[in-house]
Amino acid sequence: MLDRIEVYPYQRIKEPASWTDRLARKRKKKKRATFYRLPEWSLPARGDFLKELNWVEMVSRFFTRGNLLLATGAFLMARAFILGEILPFLFAFAAVFSRYRKEKAIIIGLCGSLGLISVLDGTFLGANILALLLLVGIINYINIPEDKAWWALPSLTVAILMVIKSVLNIAGGFSFYQEMVIIFEAIIAGILVFVFMVADDAWRRQKELASFTFEDICAFLVLGIGVVIGLEEVTVGGLSIAAVICRVGILLAALLWGSGAATMVGVMTGIIPSIASSVFAPTLGMYAVSGLLAGLFRSFGRLGIIIGFMLGTLALSMFIPETEAAVLGLWETGIACLIFFMLPSSLKEKLPVRSLGSLAVALKPREAEMVDIAIKEETKKKIEELAAVFEELSSSFQVENSFRTHSNPQAYLEYLYGEVANNFCRSCSRYDSCWGKNSYSVSGDLLDIFASVEINGSITYEECPLEFRRRCIYGREMVTTINYLFDILRLNEYWLEKVEQTQEIVAVQLKEVGNIIRKMAGELEIKTSVDLELKRSLQKESKKLGLPIADITPIKIGENKPKLRVVADACPDGKGCENNLSTALSSLIGEKMEVASKKCPKIMGKGRCEFVLVPGFTYKINTGTAQIGKEEVCGDTFILAKLDEGREVIILSDGMGVGERAYAESQAAVSLLKSLMANGFSQEASLKIVNSVLLTRSRHDSFATLDIAVVDLYNAQADFIKTGSAPTFIKRGPRVEVIEADTLPVGIIEDIEVGKSQIALHPYDMIVMVSDGILEASGSMLEGERWLKEFLSRITDKDPQKIAEAVLNQALTICEGKPRDDMTVICAYVDLNFA
C-alpha cells in the first residue's frame, strides 16, 4: 500500500532579536531614505478602485516632452561605448539629470537599463545595471549644496563608480586589466559630469538658443557626440542614422561659419566611429574634405554648399573597397542634403552664430573685463604718446619762430654794407681810398642813403648827399644797386612773413590735433560698450520692417543713454534719416531718438549715408532764411548744421566786397570753420586757423566777417561768437536784446580778437542774425540797429521763415529796392521738442 501523507499545522516561534538588530531598526525609524514616494491614495468607499484612478493625469505627468527626451537620451547613452568597453556617458548623464528629480530618476534608471540590455548580456550587464541604479539612488539620497556641486558631484560620481565596480570586480575574480578600465571609465565619467552640468544649467533656465554662450555650445556638442555614438549601430533600411546626423552637422557648419568650421566638424564627426570602436574609420578623411569643399561653395548659398559636399563625397567614395558601403554612403549623403535644404531660412537668427570665435563671449565676465581693461590701458598709452608727438611738433614750429632775426636792423645794415663794399666797390680804382682812410665819412653817406630809401621806398642820384656825389665816380650805378638791394630785402621779408604765418597755422593745427587725441585718450577711461543684444534685436526688427539699414551699432558711454550709429542706403533728398528712419528706430527702441549728425554721399541717392541717433533733445531749432545780393551773386554765406553732443550751429559770413569774390571769401571761411568745429576743434582754435588761412591764401587783402551761434539742444545754453559781424538780436516776446562786439573780421591781423557772449535762452525765443547790408539799408549802422529792434518788437508771428522774409522786405523798402550791400537774414526759433 502506498504510504499516506499526513500534514501537521505548526507555528514558527519568534526568536529574540539581538541588540544590534534592535539598534538598526531604531535608527531606521529615525531616518528613513525615501527614494521615491508614491502618491497616497485612499480606498473609495464605493465603486471600483480602478475606476477612481485618474489615468490620464498619471500618464500625462510622466510622458511629458522633457521626460521623453531624458528617456531617449538615457537609452542612447547606455549604448555609447568608447573603444567598445568604456561606458562613461550613461553614468554622467544619470548623475546630472536625475539629481533631485525623483520621478526623472526612475525614468533614467529604467530607460538606461533597457539601453544596456539592448547591447550587453551576462555579468557585465548585471554589473552596469547595478552600478547605474546605485549611482542614481545615492545621488538622490545625499544632499549636495549648490555652491559646492560643481566639484562635489563629479568627485562623488567618480568615487561611487570606482567603489561599486571594484567590489564587483573583486567578487567575480580580480582582473588588473578590468580594474584599469574601471578607473578610466570613472575618471572620464567625472569629467563628463562637469560638462553635462553646464548643459543642465542652460536646460533648467530655459535659455534661448540664440543666447547660448561658448560653454553652453560645447556642453551640448559633447551631449550630441554621446547621442551619435549611441546611434552608431542603429540603421533603417541599411542606412545609418548617425551618419545622416553627422552629415547634416557638417552642412550646417559650412552654412554658418564657412570652410574652416565645416572641416573641423568633419574631422570631429569622422572620428566618432573610431572612438566607439578600436577600428580606424575611413569616413574621417571623407567628412573632412567634404566639409572643406562645402564651405568653399558657401558664397553660392545652400545649393552651392550641397554641391560642394556632394563633390567631396563622390571623390572619396571611390577609395571605399566595399561597393555596397559606398552606395549606402551616397544615399546617406543625399538624405542629409535634403534635410539641410528643407531647414527654415530663419535658422541663422535662432542659432548662436556669434558665440563661436568671439573672445569676449568665450571668456568669463571677470576675465573679459580684465582683458578689456588691459586693452584700454594699452590703447590709452599709445594715444597719449601720439598726442605728445603732435604737441612736440607744434612746439618745434613755435620755437623756430621765436629765433627769427629778420627784423633786426643791425643784420640789414651788415648785409647792405657787405654787398656795396665787397661786390660793387671791390673792382673800383678808388676802393682803398674810400674804404680805407675815408671809410668813416663814406659809411655815414651810405647810411643817409639807406635811411632815405627805407623811408621813401627809393632814391635818385640827385637826392644823394653832395659829398657822396663829389667823391663817388660811379654814383648813379651805386644808387641803382642800392635800390635793387632794398627791393630784394622787401621781397624776402614778405615771403618770410608768409612762411612764418604758415608755420603758425601748422603749429596751431598740430596743437589742436594733439588736444583732440588727448581728449580721446581721456574718453577711454569712461566705460564704453556696444550692446550686442540690442544690436541683433534692432537688425532683426528693422529687417522685418524692410528698412534700408546696412548696419546699426548701439554705443553706450559711461552712464549715458546709448546712441545709435547707423549706416543706411542713401535717400534722394538727404532727409530720409530724419523723416523716416529715426521715427522707425525710435518705435523699435521705445524712446524718441534724434539725428545728431549725418554724413550724406556726394551724389544724393547713390551709395550709403551715415548718421548718429541720440536720445531726444529737450529743445529744437526751427530756422528760416532770406537773402538777396547787390549783384547777381550774393557774397554772404551761411550754414545751419548739427554737431556732436546735441549742439546746433549757425554760421553767417560776409566776404569783403560784393559778388563772386566776396562769396568765395565767405564760403571758404564758413566751410573751413564748420569742418573744424564738427571734428572737435574748439571755437577759439577754429577761428584762429581760419584767420591764419585767410591771411596767407592771397597777396591781396582777404577778409570776412563771422557771426556764429552755437545752441545746446539739451539746456538751451547759447554761445555767440563775433568777428567784425553785425549785431545779433534775441526776441523774447515784445522785448528785444542786442548782442554786439567791436572786433575786426578774420584775415586782417595776425592776433585776432574774438567777441564771445553766453546766454541762457528760453523756450519760444527768436534769434535773428543779419549781415551788415540789412542795417546799412537806412544809411548808417546805428540807425539800422534802431529800426530793426523796433520792427522786431512789433512782430507777433512765431514762424521764423515769415519773420526772415518780413525783415528783408522792410530793409528793401527802406533803401527803395536798391541794396547798398548783400543782404541776409537768419531767424532761429527755440521751441520745445515734444515727443
Say which CATH number the domain at 823 has: 3.60.40.10
Residue 535 within any structural domain of the chain: yes
Q: Is residue 574 part of a domain?
A: yes
In this structure, are 772 and 800 located in the same domain?
Answer: yes
524-552: b (≥16 Cβ within 10 Å) or e: beeeeeeeeebbbebbeebeeeebebeeb
Instruction: Tell whether 206 is covered by a domain.
Output: yes
Q: pLDDT value at position 372?
A: 58
pLDDT of residue 142: 81
> Does residue 250 sit within a domain?
yes
Residues 439-491: tens digit of each pLDDT: 788 888 888 888 888 888 888 888 888 878 888 888 888 888 888 888 888 88
Q: Can you give the residue range of the structural domain that contains 496? A: 409-500
**What pLDDT was estimated at residue 12?**
46
Q: Is residue 103 in a domain?
A: yes
The count of domains in the chain is 5
Whether residues 624 and 601 share a domain: the answer is: no
* 665 and 803 co-located in one domain: yes
Residue 606 shares a structural domain with residue 662: no
The pLDDT value recorded for residue 54 is: 54
Exposure of 126 by Cβ count < 10 A (0-12 exposed, 13-18 middle, 19+ buried)? middle
Is residue 719 included in any domain, yes or no? yes
Domain boundary among 361, 396, 425: 361
Q: Is residue 115 part of a domain?
A: yes
Q: Same domain, yes or no, for 184 and 207?
A: yes
Please indicate, yes or no, whether residues 356 and 320 belong to a single structural domain of this protein.
yes
On whether both 188 and 276 belong to a single domain, the answer is no
pLDDT of amino acid 513: 67
DSSP 644: T
Note the pTM of the prediction, 2 decimals: 0.46
Does residue 8 sit within a domain?
no
Of 213, 230, 247, which one is at a domain's C-terminal end? 230
Q: Tell me, yes or no, whether 591 and 668 share the same domain.
A: no
The Cα–Cα gap between 141 and 33 comes to 7
Same-domain pairing of 85 and 173? yes
Whether 160 and 258 share a structural domain: no
Same domain, 596 and 461: no
Rounded CA-CA distance 769/707 in Å is 8
Nearest C-alpha neighbor of 623 from the set 831, 809, 772? 831
264 and 326 share one domain: yes
Residue 271 CB coordination number (10 Å): 17
pLDDT beneath 70, residues of the chain: 1-63, 208-212, 214, 276-284, 319, 321, 345-383, 385-387, 389-409, 501-503, 505-506, 508-510, 512-529, 557-561, 644, 657-659, 679-681, 692-702, 747-752, 835
Q: Phi then psi for 56, rounded to 5 degrees?
A: -65, -40
SS3 at position 705:
strand
* pLDDT per residue as tens digits for the range 111-153: 888 888 888 888 888 888 888 888 888 888 888 777 788 888 8
What's the pLDDT tens digit per position in 298-317?
877 788 888 888 888 887 77
Among residues 230, 252, 286, the one where a domain terminates is 230
